[in-house]
Amino acid sequence: MHDESTNPGPRPLARGPADPAAGEIRLSLGPVQYFWSRDTLLAFYAEVAELPVDIVYLGETVCSKRRSLGLDDWLQLAGELAAAGKQVVLSSLALVEAESELKTLRRLCDNGRFLVEANDMAAVHLLAGKLPFVAGPFVNIYNQHTLTTLAALGLRRWVMPVELSRDTLADLQTHRPQGVETEIYAYGRLPLALSARCFTARAHRLPKDDCQFRCLDYPDGMLLSTQDEQRFLALNGIQTQSALTYTLLDEIRDMHLLGVDVLRISPQSTHTMAIVRAFDDALNGRREQEEIAQELISYMPSGPCDGYWAGRPGLSWQE
Amino acid sequence: MELVCPAGNLAALKSAVDAGANAVYIGFRDATNARNFEGLNFSERDMEAGIAYARQHRCRVFLALNTYPQPAGWPAWQQAVDRAAGFGFDAVIAADIGVLAYAARKHPRLPLHLSVQGSATSYEALRFYHEQFGVRRAVLPRVLSMSQVERVIANSPVEIEVFGFGSLCVMVEGRCLLSSYAAGKSPNTHGCCSPAAAVEWKETPRGLETRLGGVLVDRVGAGEHAGYPTLCKGRYEVEGNTYYPIEEPTSLNTLDLLPRLAAAGVAAIKLEGRQRSPAYVRQVSQVWRAAIDASQRDPESYRPLPEWQQVLGRVSEGQQTTLGAYSRPWQ
Which pLDDT score, from 0 to 100, does residue B36 have?
84
ipTM: 0.95
Is B226 inside a domain boundary?
Answer: yes
CB pairs under 8 A between A and B: 227
Low-confidence ranges of chain A (pLDDT < 50): 1-22
Same domain, B118 and B234: no
Same domain, B303 and B281: yes
Q: What is the pLDDT of residues B152-187, one digit of tens each?
A: 999 999 999 999 999 888 999 999 999 999 999 999
Count structural domains, chain B.
Answer: 2
* Interchain CB distance below 8 Å, A194 and B172: yes
Which pLDDT score, from 0 to 100, does residue B38 have?
82
Is B79 inside a domain boundary?
Answer: yes
Q: What is the pLDDT of residues B121-131, one digit of tens each?
A: 999 999 999 99
Same domain, B205 and B322: no
Same domain, B42 and B190: no
* Interchain CB distance below 8 Å, B329 and A202: yes
Which pLDDT score, from 0 to 100, does residue B319 have?
78
Same domain, B201 and B257: no
Same domain, B24 and B158: yes
Q: Which residues in A lie closer than 8 A to residue B132 (C-beta atoms)?
A: 1, 128, 149, 153
Same domain, B86 and B192: no
Mark which of B215, B243, B271 sits at the end of a domain.
B243
Cβ A161 vs Cβ B119: under 8 Å: no
Is B174 inside a domain boundary?
Answer: no
Quick one: B140 exposed, middle or buried, by C-beta within 10 A (0-12, 13-18, 19+)? buried
Same domain, B231 and B108: no
Which pLDDT score, from 0 to 100, does residue A102 have?
98
* Interchain CB distance below 8 Å, A313 and B183: yes
Pick the CATH number of A26-189+246-292 from 3.40.190.10, 3.40.50.11750, 3.20.20.70, 3.30.450.20: 3.20.20.70
Q: Which residues in B lie closer than 8 A to residue A102 (C-beta atoms)?
A: 122, 124
What CATH code is carried by the domain that includes residue B283? Answer: 3.20.20.70
* Interchain CB distance below 8 Å, B98 and A143: yes
- pLDDT tens string, chain B, 331 residues long: the values are 999 999 999 999 999 999 999 999 999 998 898 888 888 899 999 999 999 999 999 999 999 999 999 999 999 999 999 999 999 999 999 999 999 999 999 999 999 999 999 999 999 999 999 999 999 999 999 989 999 999 999 999 999 999 999 988 899 999 999 999 999 999 999 998 999 999 999 999 999 999 999 999 999 988 888 889 999 999 999 999 999 999 988 889 999 999 999 999 999 999 999 999 999 999 999 999 999 999 999 999 999 999 999 999 999 887 788 888 887 777 7
Is B176 inside a domain boundary?
Answer: no
Best residue in A62, A64, A96, A97 to probe B by mutation, most B CBs within 10 Å?
A97
Residue A133 sits at φ, ψ, to 5 deg, of -150, 165
Same domain, B21 and B49: yes
Distance CA A177, CA B97 (A): 16
Choose among A164, A228, A240: nearest Cβ to B216. Answer: A228
* Interchain CB distance below 8 Å, B121 and A314: no
Distance CA B65, CA B49 (A): 19
Chain B residue with minimal CA distance to A98? B148
Same domain, B85 and B150: yes
Same domain, B237 and B322: no
Reference A262, options A54, A90, A49, A91; nearest CA is A54
Mark which of B243, B273, B288 sits at the end of a domain.
B243
Q: Which residues in A lie closer than 8 A to residue B74 (C-beta atoms)?
A: 143-145
Which pLDDT score, from 0 to 100, does residue B168 have?
87
* Domain carrying residue B226: 181-243
Same domain, B21 and B106: yes
Which pLDDT score, from 0 to 100, does residue A167 have?
98
Where are the domains positioned within chain A?
26-189+246-292
Which pLDDT score, from 0 to 100, does residue B35 have?
86
